[in-house]
Structure 1
Amino acid sequence: MLKNLNIEEILFLDIETVPLAPEYTVLNEKWQQLWERKMQFQINDGKLPHELYERAGIYAEFGKIACISAGYVVQKKGEPYFRVKSFYDEDEKKLIQNFFNALDSFARAGKRRLCAHNGQEFDFPYISRRALVNNLTLPKVLDIAGAKPWEVKDILIDTLQLWKFGDYKHYTSLSLLCELFNIPTPKDDIDGSQVAKVYWEEKDIDRIVKYCEKDTMAVANLLLKYKGDMIIPFENLESV
């Protein structure tokens, strides 16, 4: 099955998300109550709800998208390269709309499949939910509410689901799989847990973009590894 995947038809994605507000105290009373109710059903490690607000970015109802990176594999003189474009803007609606516009261009170029790590449970639904919050029309590839998994498996590829081999209880991070398969990853990147701080306190979106782009390339390399193909070295990463 994996051998039959045409890697050049796939658009690889990664998103970085942050809480809607820089800190819990900025929320109005209603949103504070809603956050507290949400946290009642989470493992809190003894922390109070306001102490868990750093996690808000992982929930589409309490977070927003800071960056979407989309990349694809190209061949140049018989050597694979990874070309990536990032979408970021303080105006989340504009960010998502620009990404949707690009999806149309990618589709016309033959890249009609999307791939992300844990995309089925995070990236794809998160983008779709935030699009609806921003009154945007979903592109066909993401307009899958109510669709059965087998109806979208050829369109939305998830490197985590491929690794599960049907084991629905198993979660493995992208960084762990990269280490397992000896896929080189940069050592100078921020950690995913630091993205909110970098966004709200340091206001360094460029740092987040670079992190997002390298994760997108890691997803591509992971799928290449699954297929038994040559992975792409970091020096062959091209930002456009």
Structure 2
Amino acid sequence: MTEEFKKKAKSLLLLDIETVAACASYDELPERMQKLWDKKAVSLKKGDDTLSNAEYFYNRSAIYSEFGKIICIAFGAFYWNEKNEIAFKVSSFSGDNEAEVLLQFRTLIEKYPSDQLILCAHNGKEFDFPFICRRMLIHGIEIPKALQISGKKPWEILHQDTMDMWKFGDYKSYTSLDLLAAVFDIPGSKNEMSGDQVTKVYYEENDLLKISRYCREDVVVMAQLYLRLQNFETVHPDNIIRVE
């Protein structure tokens, strides 16, 4: 572990979000939004009529910021314990009120100097970061400076992405966190559930705590992957602190 990384780690925050369909069913969408979803579903299904537009909404809308919402944001940071061993602490904000979750997250990241904070997520540049910003705008929440990229030069944007780090400039394909965890022999986060089950667990099982645990574990996996991508040893399991 280098001194340079120790210094960098003080400004590094790893995060993951969990999103669900904005409402429990297609029928609960306002009529205007139903029509717009129908139009979007046509292009998404590409002629596959196996599922109706209503079923497709329930299964797929969570990944689109216009039709989904954030119910959990998990975040974690590295630190060094009293034995000078690397450790990792992870926590989360979650709730049914998306605006409150977003405000809590904004308050958190505004504690860091915006010109020093490094935000990292897996596929964060394509999904987590823009999804958070769009949902903040929808709720009339001011986007914190650390998430604002418009008008910035590339070297002024401190966002990192473990998927990008793995690609080494190759833009041909998506590589999941779960796959990279397996490649690097890092314990996975899919013990209780998987990402495609989040909407079902939220609306049918009403188990936000389960989703929050899953989200936090994704951040733990990402933290371990981040270290391996730097060619460092992973954090010992005893040094991982989970705050519910």
TM-score, normalising length from structure 1? 0.91
Contact between 1:11 and 1:111, CA under 8 Å: does it hold in 2? no
For 1:233 and 1:43, the matched residues in 2 are separated by 44
What's the secondary structure of 2:74's corresponding residue? strand
Q: Which residue of 1 aligns with 2:56?
A: 52
Deviations 1:113-133, CA, capped at 9 Å, x for gaps: 100000000000000000000
Say which is worse superposed, 118-127 or 157-166, in terms of deviation: 157-166
1:36-185 paired onto structure 2 within 5 Å: 36-43=38-45, 45-46=48-49, 47-53=51-57, 54-76=59-81, 77-105=83-111, 107=112, 112-145=117-150, 147=152, 149-152=154-157, 155-185=158-188
Q: What residue ranges of structure 1 are gaps of 5+ in the alignment?
A: none
For 1:163 and 1:85, the matched residues in 2 are separated by 25
For 1:104 and 1:201, the matched residues in 2 are separated by 35
1:145 Cα shift? Answer: 3.1
1:167 Cα shift? Answer: 1.7
What's the secondary structure of 1:119's corresponding residue? coil
Q: Tell me whether 1:221 sits opposite 2:243 in the alignment.
A: no
For 2:92 and 2:116, the matched residues in 1 are separated by 16
Deviations 1:78-135, CA, capped at 9 Å, x for gaps: 3222111211121111110011101122x15997110000000000000000000010
User: Structure 1 stretches (4+) deviating beyond 6 angstroms?
Assistant: none
For 1:70 and 1:93, the matched residues in 2 are separated by 17
1:236 Cα shift? Answer: 2.8
Aligned residue pairs, count: 236
Deviations 1:50-88, CA, capped at 9 Å, x for gaps: 221121110000000010011001111132221112111
Deviations 1:127-186, CA, capped at 9 Å, x for gaps: 00000001000110111135464542xx10011111122222211000000001111124
Q: Which residue of 2 aligns with 1:188?
A: 191
Aligned CA-pair RMSD: 2.2
What's the secondary structure of 2:142's corresponding residue? coil
For 1:9 and 1:151, the matched residues in 2 are separated by 15
For 2:153 and 2:123, the matched residues in 1 are separated by 17
For 1:25 and 1:235, the matched residues in 2 are separated by 47
Q: What residue ranges of structure 2 are gaps of 5+ in the alignment?
A: none
